Amino acid sequence: MSSLTSTEKVSKFSIRQKTLMLNKRLFLPAFVVVLLVYSFTQEATIAVLSDAYFQVAAFVYASLSIYYIATLKVSAEAIGDFMRKHPFYEVGLASFLGALPGCGGAIIVVTQYTRGVTSFGAVVAVLTSTMGDAAFLLLAQAPLDGLTVMGVGMVVGTLTGVIVNRFHNYQPPSSTNALASTGGNEGHNTDDSEQAQSTASSSIDKLSTYFWLIVALPSLAIALALSFQSPVHEYLGITEPTLQLMGAVLCLSAITLWSLNGGSDGYASLTKEDAITPPPRWQSKAALDTQFVLAWVVVAFLLFELSILWFGLDIGATLTSMGASVVGLAILVGFLPGCGPQILITSLYLNGAVPFSAQLGNAISNDGDALFPAIALSPKAAILATVYSAFPAIAVGYGYYFLFER
């Protein structure tokens, strides 16, 4: 009996090692450590990590906490029932759910569509209006711009959804059997590998939750003081480089926790927010989503700094010189599934590298994490919805560019 137990322990340990080796997320903290060791990039990397933590992560965690406390108790089934009983309001409600920060509302509508509850216009509306997790970043750094994008997305999403329902209310074949077979396969495939991965992920979830509960309030206080140009280091009795180093260490800790929570080497693991074990708790959800946003912000900031250090290339100036083409580029990036690439575009906008028209076009064209379940359960509907959302993205993005920015 003890021999069997030892074998199982060795097997699970091997599985966890294999999972870590396949985890592409680990590349980010490993690369950051290399930059910190390399003297030529050390100073710039510390500055990037500290800025990403105090200027972004502290505010994002605070806003996410408030948002999830208010919304996590809302039942997806109740929303689906309301949309089924009141079809007249479904497109507008879907657009509103999409305009809310994060991908939760969009995923609810897409899931209800695959069950035959909502119309295709509602799916197009929610995918058009959603900005995904990039909305949290924009609201934290530029609240007025964030609210403007949300408002435009909601109006454009509603109009697009109504038009689609009028001319092409596509209904896919019933996905009940597909859902059942998927569920069945998942049940049969729950082996030691998945159990070990789930256990490890649960441990990282808890560690992430405790980490942010401990550092959130002091980090927010420091971030607020820094935003008002206060000499925080003097209040704390430390030097400015020491404060910057503290921010860098906290940032590296957070992105390391994010990287350890990755269970696969797939594209989705890098670009979508982490799922949490039900029932969802705001503490865990806010922590995991903050780490996801922070990781992509660090990527964007490093892209800026390293391109200047290594190649003498000013990305902001390069994108600005592209003129109207940069709007099209932002719209194309929006077609990529997941919130990660969209956070990159929003970071570029906040750094002045792309104009507001590009931010608008990307916000309308991007579908966030909601595209993943749509692709899995109804690929044709996902492709059609993406194509239909391209038209308002082009119209709004280029319309704003030629009217106000040219």
Token pair, residue 351, equals 């750094």
- With cut-offs at 50, 70 and 90, classify the pLDDT of residue 185: very low
- Which pair of tokens denotes residue 10? 């060795």
Q: What is the pTM of this model?
A: 0.83
Looking at residues 70-98, what average pLDDT do you find? 85
Domain assignment present for 223: yes
pLDDT at 6: 56
Distance CA 44, CA 26 (A): 21
Amino acid making up residue 45:
T
* Average of per-residue pLDDT across 224-234: 93
Please give the pLDDT value at position 27: 94
Q: CB count, 10 Å around CB of 329?
A: 16
- Bin 261: left if φ > 0, else alpha if -120 < ψ < 50, else beta: alpha
pLDDT tens figures, 186-198: 444 444 445 545 5
Q: What is the pLDDT of residue 5?
A: 60
Percent of the chain with pLDDT over 90: 61
Asked if residue 5 belongs to a domain, the reply is no
* Extended beta strands in 202-309, E state: none
Q: How many of the other CB atoms lie within 10 Å of CB of 181?
A: 10
Look at residue 264 in the predicted model and tell me its pLDDT.
Answer: 60
**Mean of the per-residue pLDDT values of the chain:** 86
**Domain range for residue 302?**
42-184+195-405
Pick the closest to residue 96 from 65, 70, 116, 122 (CA basis). 122
DSSP string, 220-236: HHHHHHHHTT--HHHHH
Which pLDDT belongs to residue 24?
A: 87
Q: In a 10 Å sphere around its CB, with 0-12 CB exposed, 13-18 middle and 19+ buried, how is residue 190 labelled? A: exposed
pLDDT higher than threshold 50 for residue 112: yes
Report residue 391 as tokens: 């038209």
Helix axes 104-114, 87-99, angle to 10 degrees: 140
d(CA 236, CA 313): 37
102 located within any domain: yes
pLDDT of 266 reads 73
pLDDT band at residue 253 under the 50/70/90 scheme? very high
Alpha-carbon Rg for the chain in angstroms:
22
Q: Does residue 168 lie within any of the structural domains?
A: yes
Residue 19 belongs to some domain of the structure: no
Within a domain: 118: yes
Look at residue 272 and give its three-state secondary structure. coil
How many distinct structural domains can be found in the chain?
1
Question: Is 31 a member of any domain?
Answer: no
For 207-223, what is the mean pLDDT?
Answer: 96
Choice between 53 and 3, residue whose per-residue pLDDT is larger? 53
Q: What is the pLDDT of residue 52?
A: 96
The model's pLDDT over 282-314, given as tens digits with 9 standing for 90+, comes to 999 999 999 999 999 999 999 989 998 999 888
Rounded Cα–Cα distance for residues 346 and 360 (Å): 10
4 is a domain residue: no
The answer, yes or no, to whether residue 280 has pLDDT greater than 80, is: no
pLDDT tens sequence across 128-183 = 999 999 999 999 999 999 999 999 999 999 999 999 999 988 887 654 444 444 44
Mean pLDDT score, 344-372 = 93
